[in-house]
Structures are given as C-alpha cells and as structure tokens.
Structure 1
Amino acid sequence: MKNIISKALTGIFFLTLIASSFVSCQKMERPPMNIIPDDTARLNGPLQLFLAFEDSPLDSIHDVEGSVAGVTFVDGHKGKAYKGSSTGQIQFGNAGKLAPMTSFTVAFWMNTEKHGGGAQSIFMLPRTSDFWGNLFAMIEGNEDADDNSMLLKFNFAGNWVEFSGNNGVERLPDMYGKWRHLAFSYDENTSKFAAYLDGQAIDLPAAVTDRKKDDAPLGPLAFQDASQFVIGAFQQHIGVGNDPDAWMLHYTGMLDEFKVYTKALTAEEIGNLYAE
C-alpha cells in the first residue's frame, strides 16, 4: 500500500514539474503598472508656494487656486503673468506652512510702471492681531520723470528694510518698464537678511544684514497670528483688520514665477532662479 502511494506522489510531482516548465516557456501578457506618484517630497519640501500665473491663480505646490478679483493674465517673462489693477488681488484663505516658517526666501519677476500717491503692496502674509502683516513688500510712489529708481519697503516679523537711499541702503535702480528679478531671504542659522536683484546680491550694510533682538542674534522667526496670503494687496483689502487707509493701494504691475520657500536659499540657488 505504501509503495502504491509513493508511486502516485512521484507521478504527481513529475506532472507538476512538466506543467510548470511548459508555462514558464510561454510569453505571458502582463498588465501595465499603474504607478501612483508620491507627492510627499513636493508637499513637504522647502518650496511652499509657486504661482506661475499660467492663465490661473493656481498654487502648483498644493494644487489650490486662490480667489481672484480685478486680475488679468497677460504675456509675461515666462509664459503668462499676473497683471494687477486698482482692485487686483489673489487671495489664499490658508497660509499653510508659510505661517510657521522660521526662515524664508521670496523670489519673483516683476514689471511695473510708476505710480503716484500712496504705496502699492506686492504681497502680504497677514497678521490678524496687528496693523502690519507678518511678511510683505510694498512700493512707494514715484512721479519723477527723470528718476527710474524704486523705493521699496520690505518687512518680516517687524523687521523693516527700506531701499530708500538712506542708511547705506540704495533705492533699487532702473526698476520701471522692464522685467526685473527680485529675491529676499532670511536665514535663522546666521540671523542674516539678504536681497538680490537679477540674481546678484545687493550690497547691504551689516546693520541691515545682521538682524538682532536685544543685542543678540535674531534667530528663528516667529510669525504671529498668520492668516491667509494675498498677492497684490494689503491685508486690509481682504478684510484683515480695519478698512484700508487711503494710501494703501493695490499693485497694478505684472508678476511672474512667484515663489516662497521656507528656507534661505543660497546665493548660487537664487542665481539659478534668475538664470532659469
């Protein structure tokens, strides 16, 4: 009886071996792989806002569109660009990872004409508990036909940098009627601020670059009550705080390739942004 069972099992083994060999010799059709992209690196990377303005207010990092008012999209430095107006703005209802960032780089292309009167806001990270926002840049008026320089004021966490021609900080040269690339950064590790025009570092005095608080290095930033983000307007224009003052104006010029990083890019990296 045992011999019969043993012979039967041996036969089954050889039949299985032959069948598997036959199958392995066949060319099998394999279904295509459905690869799902991993967005983790993009969503958690240092680039946390990227507006290309390709006929839309899309932040391509988070695939979120802002709310648009008074804005058109025109031929820009690269593809299409933002074109502002006296009511133009793009509002994002959530500041996301821009709110807790402790270092930053803001970089963009701009092309604008002179304006009179008050100051135009290029962008702002609002602060609900204060008149001034957490992070913003604004342009003061210039009606001098013989002066093509720009008086730009930049603020981050209460730290003012005024490109006004005073205190060793020159007005930005030849800024109107052409595309110029601007970048601003702050590095919590060195407590240094830097500014760049067309990929080159702007020469700034140590009193401007070396940021201090109570005679000690400023260190990591701490934005307060950060809410929303707006292109082309002050926070008051989107309902944060009181009504806007008469001098608060929307940005009427063009913007392109607007990027915000949660780290300080190196001079080489900013040079590469300009070269792109």
Structure 2
Amino acid sequence: MGKYMLKTAAIILMAGLGGLGFTSCQKMERPELVLIPDDTARLNGPLQLYLGFEDSPLDSIHFDEGTATGISYVEGVHGKAYQGSATGQIQFASAGKLAEMSSFTVAFWLNTEKHEGGAQCIFMLPNTEDFWGNMFATIEGNGNPDDNSMQLKFNFGPWVDFSGSNGMERLPDMYGKWRHLAFTYDENTSVFSAYLDGQAIPLPAAVANPEANGEPLGPLAFQNVSKFVIGAYQQHIGIQNDPEAWMLRYTGMLDQFRVYTKALTAEEVNTLFASKK
C-alpha cells in the first residue's frame, strides 16, 4: 500500500511539473512576426523599369542594380538625377519583361547642352542580331548657336525623326533646361504618340498610325533582346561589334526614367509631367 501511494504521488508530482513547464512555455517571449509584402502586383504591373537615380543605378521595380560607369549624380527634377559623360552609361544584365512588351510607354526628364557632330544615345533596348537594336532614342548634333531646337530620333521598328521635314518639326527650346518627354505605342489601336512637357506633339498620319505591309502594325514583337543600357548604344556594351565614331554617349542629365509595358493615356502622361515624380 505504501509503495502504491508513493508511486501515485510521483505521478502527480510529474504531472504538476509538466503542467508548470507547459504554462512556462506559453509565457515565453517570441520574436516579432515579420510580414513579407506580396510584391506580385508590383512585379507584374505595367511599370517594369523605374530609375530615380537617387545616388544609385537601382531599378526600383525589381530592385535590380545596374552597372554604372563614368556617371555621377546631381540635383534633378525630384531628388537626384543621372549626369552622363563621354564615357558614361548604366548597363542592366537583363531587359526582363521589356523583352516581351507588345505596347509601351517610355517617359523621362532630360536636361542637356548642345553637342556638335555625331548622335548621342539616351537609351537602348538591344537586339543581338541587328545593328540598330530593338528600341532607342538619340539626339543629333546641333552646332548652330542661334537654334535651340533638337533633332531627336526615336526608333521602335518604325523610325520617328523630329528633323524639321516631312511634317516632323524639331523639338523646340530643348537645351539648357529640364524637359519631359514621353513616347507611347498602343497595340490595340496601332497608334504611336509623343509628348513634350505633358502635351501631345502633332504627328503626321504615317507616323501616328504605323503600318506593316499595308496593315496596322499591331502588337510589337521585339527580337533577340539582350540587356538594357542607359546613356549609350548597344555597341558600347559589346553588342554588334565596336561603336562607330559617330556613336556618342549621352552627356546630359536624366531623371525619373520609366518604361511601361502599356500605352499610358494622355492624362496619365500629363500627370507624370505635372507631378514631377
């Protein structure tokens, strides 16, 4: 009987200690729960490249940092800005979803001085099998001290040349100040649009409504896409041989560089300009 009572007491004591242990565990401090935000909407949204140039060559959409050479950061329209040079560029190892876009908007602020001879490249979406790449914008030289207009060329398959001929006026009053540019193409309507400081630029019908083989251009299909470069031609990053003498890097400033995989509306473009963000 004594042994039975001793065994029972031991069981009760162990149960008590177990209960205390359980209660103690419940009261232990735990590390704070960290919630990881769902970035699916941002990563899969239409804005697929955003460069604010805040002392860094960082794409704020994918947190992908490009390789910058020969550039610096200066005061811009909003925060800091890209300052190019004769050797400056930012190279991204991948174009990401820009390679697949069938519509687009490219929008940015620029502030540059005149240069003589050659053509400076603002940006380029390369094509490893084509001399001209898939999409780019360039600024031709201007040696006229009395002319502040700019000959800018934009290519996305069709050429858009603001040359002062064929109904395409040169862009007015473009040097020595911040100007906002945006270019859009909508695959659903086959309409190309260009904007300066939030306002649509009048374009000839053949430019605004590009065709292929007599039919509306429709969805774009970029080919052999590799990398993405700011401030230089694809030849400057080792694609399609060495750069030719007329191929110059962009020496001006850039800010708030965006690429969307859709065509923004005129109102949305104007909002980019007005907000300066």
TM bucket (normalised to shorter chain) is: 0.7 to 0.9
Residue equivalent to 2:162: 163
Residue equivalent to 2:152: 152
CA distance in 1, matches of 2:189, 2:175: 33
Change (3 A) 1:37 1:129: same
Residue equivalent to 1:37: 37
Residue equivalent to 2:219: 220
Matched, 1:245 2:244: yes
User: How many residue pairs get matched?
Assistant: 247
Shift of 1:205: 1.3
In the TM superposition, what whole-angstrom CA distance separates every residue of 1:65-108 from its partner, at most 9, and x where no partner exists?
Answer: 10011000011111000000000000001010000100000000
Identity percentage over the alignment? 74
Matched, 1:191 2:211: no
Residue equivalent to 1:263: 262
CA distance in 1, matches of 2:115, 2:247: 12
Residue equivalent to 2:129: 129
Residue equivalent to 2:271: 272
Amino acid aligned to 2:228: F
Shift of 1:30: 10
Matched, 1:117 2:98: no
CA distance in 1, matches of 2:243, 2:221: 25
Structure 2: 5+ residue stretches without partners: 1-28
Partner-residue secondary structure (3-state), 2:207: helix
Residue equivalent to 1:101: 101
In the TM superposition, what whole-angstrom CA distance separates every residue of 1:233-267 from its partner, at most 9, and x where no partner exists?
Answer: 00000000111000000000000000000000000
CA distance in 1, matches of 2:79, 2:92: 22
Residue equivalent to 1:13: none
Amino acid aligned to 1:218: L
Partner-residue secondary structure (3-state), 2:107: strand
CA distance in 2, matches of 1:177, 1:205: 28
Partner-residue secondary structure (3-state), 2:202: coil
Residue equivalent to 1:234: 233
Shift of 1:31: 8.2
In the TM superposition, what whole-angstrom CA distance separates every residue of 1:128-165 from its partner, at most 9, and x where no partner exists?
Answer: 00100100000000010000000000000x21000001
In the TM superposition, what whole-angstrom CA distance separates every residue of 1:139-197 from its partner, at most 9, and x where no partner exists?
Answer: 000010000000000000x2100000111110000000000000001000000100000
CA distance in 2, matches of 1:176, 1:128: 33
Shift of 1:32: 5.7
Partner-residue secondary structure (3-state), 1:99: helix
CA distance in 1, matches of 2:36, 2:220: 36
Partner-residue secondary structure (3-state), 1:78: coil
Residue equivalent to 1:200: 199
Shift of 1:207: 1.1
| Cα RMSD, aligned residues only | 1.2
Residue equivalent to 1:17: none
CA distance in 2, matches of 1:250, 1:234: 7
CA distance in 2, matches of 1:160, 1:100: 20
Shift of 1:35: 2.3
Amino acid aligned to 1:210: N
CA distance in 1, matches of 2:191, 2:32: 51
Amino acid aligned to 1:141: G
Residue equivalent to 2:69: 69
TM-score (norm 2): 0.88
Shift of 1:117: 1.1
